[in-house]
């Protein structure tokens, strides 16, 4: 089974702190994604990566950056956390097929609270 | 901008009945559609997908219907069970592009 592991289930940070959210997948998938999930807004794509060191902005990249130095690891960085970044963050990976992304496999989420 | 959205935020059905969850999409270039199920405290899980060259696809107790004319997608669950209670999301992508856009979700409540 594919496993996507997010390093922290719950985090509490203060405004202005730098926050790292780590995600690791064990199935040699090409694609990795970071979404945030907020009530009534569904899942919104922050960034995705289709290869090592490659990244593309999603729909809401402002205030975030990402890093993919190794194929299995995709990190989301909040350079200076703000209260409006309080949310559930979901990491996903997919094999990446010629006709599209294929099935996304999600981690269990990281709930971030910024005070 | 382009978006994938759902008609109803909450759907309540009696155990044993069939459920139909609807989704409207606005990107006419979308050619790959997926349904995900999210149980409380977990990440979304893939249910079924369909490509735009098909109108219907069936899985185990689930059927996805695609109407490209009106840009509408539906998920039918046969003989709904308590374990089907969850939030359901439709999602789409286009042109072989790897980006996946999700809708806002529908909560399915199964009444015993």
- pLDDT tens readout for residues B76-103: 999 999 999 999 999 998 876 778 889 8
Per DSSP, which regions of B1-112 are E strands? 4-6, 10-14, 19-25, 30-38, 45-51, 56-58, 62-67, 72-77, 86-94, 101-102, 106-111
Question: What is the SS3 assignment for A54?
Answer: strand
At residue B21's C-alpha, the angle toward residues B18 and B27, to 5°, is 150
Mean residue pLDDT across chain B: 90
Measured between CB atoms, does B106 come within 8 Å of chain A? no
Find out whether B105 and B87 touch, Cβ atoms under 8 Å: yes
Strands B106-111 and B10-14: parallel
- Cα–Cα distance measured from residue B64 to residue B74, given in angstroms and rounded to the nearest whole number: 6
Helix (H) or strand (E) holding A74: strand A73-78
Mutation target to probe the B interface, by most B beta carbons within 10 A, among A29, A43, A102 is A43
Taking contacts as CB-CB distances below 8 angstroms, the residues of chain B near A44 are 102
For residue B68, give the DSSP letter.
T
List the pLDDT tens digit at each of the 115 positions of chain A.
Answer: 669 999 899 999 999 999 999 999 999 999 999 999 998 888 999 999 988 989 999 999 999 999 999 999 999 999 999 999 999 999 999 987 766 778 899 999 999 999 9
Which chain A residue shows the shortest CA-CA distance from B105? A42
């Amino acid at each position: 089974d594919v496993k996507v592991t997010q390093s922290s289930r719950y985090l509490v940070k203060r405004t202005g702190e730098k926050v790292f959210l780590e995600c690791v997948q064990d199935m040699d998938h090409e694609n990795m994604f970071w979404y945030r999930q907020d009530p009534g807004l569904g899942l919104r794509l922050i960034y995705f990566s289709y290869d090592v060191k490659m990244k593309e902005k999603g729909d809401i990249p402002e205030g975030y950056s990402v890093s993919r130095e190794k194929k299995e690891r995709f990190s989301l960085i909040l350079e200076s956390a703000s209260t409006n970044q309080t949310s559930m963050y979901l990491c996903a990976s997919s094999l990446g097929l010629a006709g599209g992304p294929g099935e996304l496999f999600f981690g269990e989420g990281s709930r971030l609270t910024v005070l | 901008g382009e978006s994938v959205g759902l008609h109803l935020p909450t759907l309540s059905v009696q155990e044993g009945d069939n459920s139909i969850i609807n989704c409207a999409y606005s990107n006419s270039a979308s050619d790959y559609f997926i349904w995900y199920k999210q149980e409380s405290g977990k990440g979304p899980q893939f249910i079924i997908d369909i490509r735009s060259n098909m109108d219907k696809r069936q899985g185990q107790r689930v059927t996805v219907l695609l109407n490209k004319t009106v840009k509408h997608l539906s998920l039918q669950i046969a003989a709904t069970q308590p374990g089907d209670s969850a939030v359901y999301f439709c999602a789409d992508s286009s042109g072989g592009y790897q980006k996946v856009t999700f809708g806002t979700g529908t909560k399915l409540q199964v009444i015993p």
